Structure 1
Amino acid sequence: MGKIPSVVASYLKLPDVACYTGHCLRRSSATLLADAGVDITTIMRHAGWKSTTVAEGYVENSIENKTKIANQVPPLAQSQKL
């Protein structure tokens, strides 16, 4: 199972095929779950992590995650009374 990412990387002709390991699957799945709006507890259960710090460390700062966070910030004009 751990060699599948390197096989896929080789098929896609990506550079540094040896860098793609089973660890990539954990990081990718955690990021995809976070992007889908899954809560951190569910992500922890999925991967078997006991610490939120560890789980959060596996979630990549994807564009989708950054956009979701940015969209939660209220516009300046609405957040301050003039």
Structure 2
Amino acid sequence: MGKIPSVVASYLKLPDVACYTDHCLRRSSATLLADAGVDITTIKRHAGWKSTTVAEGYVENSIENKTKIANQVLVGYYH
């Protein structure tokens, strides 16, 4: 399982294929779940993490995530 990301990166002819590890899959899946609005408890269960801090550390600050947060702030500001 750990070599799948580097195989995919090689197939896609991406640079530095050795940099793509199973860690990439964990980070990507946590970020995608967060972007979809999944709560942190579900993300922790998905990856088997007990710590909220660890789970939050795997969630990238994607554009989608930043946009959702900004929209929530604006809605709260204007109400």
TM-score with structure 2 setting the length: 0.91
How many corresponding residue pairs? Answer: 73
Q: Structure 1, unaligned stretches of length 5 or more?
A: 74-82
TM-score with structure 1 setting the length: 0.87
**Is 1:68 aligned with 2:68?**
yes
**Is 1:52 aligned with 2:58?**
no
> 1:59 offset after TM fit, Å?
0.3
**Is 1:24 aligned with 2:24?**
yes
Which structure has greater helix proportion?
A: 2
Instruction: Give a deviation string over 1:5-57, Cα, whole Å, max 9, x none.
Output: 00000011111100000111100100010011000000000001011000000
Q: Percent identity?
A: 97
The 4+ residue runs of structure 1 with deviation greater than 6 A are none
Q: Structure 2, unaligned stretches of length 5 or more?
A: 74-79
Give the RMSD, CA atoms, in angstroms. 0.5
Q: Secondary structure at the match of 1:37?
A: coil
